[in-house]
């Protein structure tokens, strides 16, 4: 882990955000760097909060986001994680993972962080915050992205 601030460009594309930060850190520190960025994309809100999820969580929070959706019946959403791997010698690589689901009508559960208490992965009845670590790992957008990274690494580095 680098003790260096990450530059986060303003973009609606998580891959671009992660790639810029990874390439900048690689150039600054002359070493391979992996950066992850993630967000919650709500269909009826045109993808909001998307790449601004952390800021939205810190400023309006879970309850106010639920209020924005209070009259909405279509509650489809997805969590996305984008990884960017940059190296001083190789071109950057990007890996993305998505988990589709819905936004609950209330905040439920105490585990996890961010918008986990209101996101229900497709095919389940629990929010990420209700399900615990094993549940979240099973459906995790980050786990999907990291599996893609691992498969790429195995194919290209062995």
User: Which active-site residues does the annotation give?
Assistant: 37
What phi and psi values does residue 22 have, to the nearest 5 degrees? -65, -45
Q: Can you list the positions of beta strands (E) in the chain? A: 33-42, 49-50, 76-86, 93-103, 119-121
Nearest to 102 by CA among 131, 128, 81: 128
Q: Can you list the positions of beta strands (E) in 7-140? A: 33-42, 49-50, 76-86, 93-103, 119-121
Query: DSSP letter at 44?
Result: G
How many CB atoms sit inside 10 A of residue 7's CB? Answer: 11
Here the tokens at position 59 are 């400023």
C-alpha angle 133-138-141 in degrees, rounded to nearest 5: 95
């Amino acid at each position: 882990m680098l003790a260096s601030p990450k530059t986060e460009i303003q973009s609606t594309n998580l891959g671009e955000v992660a790639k810029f930060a990874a390439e900048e850190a690689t150039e600054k520190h002359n070493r391979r760097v992996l950066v992850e960025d993630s967000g919650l994309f709500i269909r009826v809100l045109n993808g909001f909060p998307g790449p601004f999820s952390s800021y939205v969580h810190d400023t309006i929070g879970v309850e106010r986001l639920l209020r924005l959706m209070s009259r909405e019946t279509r509650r489809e959403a997805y969590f996305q994680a984008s990884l960017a791997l940059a190296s001083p010698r190789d071109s950057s690589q990007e890996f993305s993972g998505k988990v589709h689901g819905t936004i609950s009508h209330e905040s439920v559960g105490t585990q996890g962080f961010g918008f986990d208490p209101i996101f229900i992965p497709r095919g389940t009845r629990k929010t990420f915050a209700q399900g615990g670590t094993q549940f979240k790992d099973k459906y995790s957008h980050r786990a999907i992205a990291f599996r893609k990274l691992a498969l790429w690494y195995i194919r290209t580095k062995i």
